[in-house]
């Protein structure tokens, strides 16, 4: 029987027990993950158990594993399931911009007072659109502006590498900021 090609592999051991996690390609060119546990026996042999998960089931495996690890991380906190955790988190105080007083939210503030009343941080936060689970768009904008000491000229030349280095800033959000900066430059030409 021909062996499967291993594309990537990880392994670890604990005592007489060895674990192998292999990402392989089968003869039919489909991908699969093989989990192998090998236990050393007293007579010098090994007992081996394998579990294979094929490509079409990766999404379900990853989702299940993610839920399991989330529950394991919070074991003993009174949760019965991941759904219980989500429900409890939804019932907790809303964070970020949605948790702010309505009159202080950037969009509402602009609607009420006009764009001239907005701080640079609020305007940048509006371009960014959303933050991360741990940081609002306003906090993220504040950090980005802080990195250039509030200098909008410096902000305009950060580019993808400079903007994407901030957690929460990917290509899409960075593109929005860069597009606004370019419009500002073009407006300055007239």
Q: For residue 51, what is the domain's CATH number?
A: 3.10.450.700
141 by DSSP, 3-state: which?
Answer: helix
Judgement on whether residues 46 and 101 belong to the same structural domain of the protein: no
Residue whose pair of structure tokens reads 């400079």 in the numeric block: 162
Domain boundary among 36, 62, 88: 62
| DSSP character string of 56-90 | GGHHHHHHHHHHHHHHHHTTTSS-SSHHHHHHHHH
Domain boundary among 62, 81, 110: 62
- The list of the chain residues with pLDDT below 70 reads 1-4, 71-72, 74-96, 98
Rg (CA), the chain: 26
Judgement on whether residues 109 and 152 belong to the same structural domain of the protein: yes
For 41, the domain range is 5-62
Nearest to 3 by CA among 22, 23, 27: 27
Domain-embedded: residue 122: yes
**What pLDDT shows up at residue 145?**
92
| Segments of the chain assigned E as strands | 5-14, 17-25, 31-40, 46-54
Is 51 buried (19+), middle (13-18) or exposed (0-12) by CB count in 10 A?
Answer: exposed
**What pLDDT shows up at residue 1?**
39
Crossing angle of helices 82-91 and 58-73, in 10° steps, is 60
Domain-embedded: residue 156: yes
Judgement on whether residues 102 and 178 belong to the same structural domain of the protein: yes
Residue whose pair of structure tokens reads 């399931």 in the numeric block: 81
d(CA 66, CA 60): 10
Judgement on whether residues 154 and 106 belong to the same structural domain of the protein: yes
**What pLDDT shows up at residue 49?**
95
Q: Full-prediction pTM beyond 0.75?
A: no
Domain-embedded: residue 84: no
Cα four-point dihedral sign 81, 68, 76, 17: positive
Judgement on whether residues 111 and 175 belong to the same structural domain of the protein: yes
**What pLDDT shows up at residue 64?**
82
The number of distinct structural domains making up the chain is 2
């Amino acid at each position: 029987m021909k062996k499967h090609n291993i594309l990537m592999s990880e392994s670890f051991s604990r005592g007489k027990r060895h674990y192998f996690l292999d990402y392989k390609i089968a003869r039919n060119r489909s991908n699969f993950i093989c989990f192998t546990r090998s236990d050393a026996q007293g007579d010098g042999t090994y007992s081996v158990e394998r579990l294979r998960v094929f490509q079409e089931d990766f999404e379900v495996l990853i989702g299940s594993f993610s839920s399991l690890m989330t529950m394991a991380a919070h074991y003993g906190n009174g949760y019965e399931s991941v759904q219980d955790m989500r429900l409890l988190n939804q019932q907790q105080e809303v964070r970020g911009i949605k948790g702010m007083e309505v009159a202080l939210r950037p969009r509402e503030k602009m609607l009420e007072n006009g764009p001239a009343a907005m701080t640079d941080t609020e305007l940048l936060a509006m371009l960014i659109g959303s933050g991360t689970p741990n940081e609002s768009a306003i906090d993220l904008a504040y950090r980005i502006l802080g990195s250039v000491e509030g200098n909008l000229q410096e902000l305009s030349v950060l580019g993808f590498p400079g903007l994407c280095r901030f957690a929460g800033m990917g290509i899409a959000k960075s593109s929005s900021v860069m597009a606004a900066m370019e419009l500002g430059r073009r407006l300055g030409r007239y």
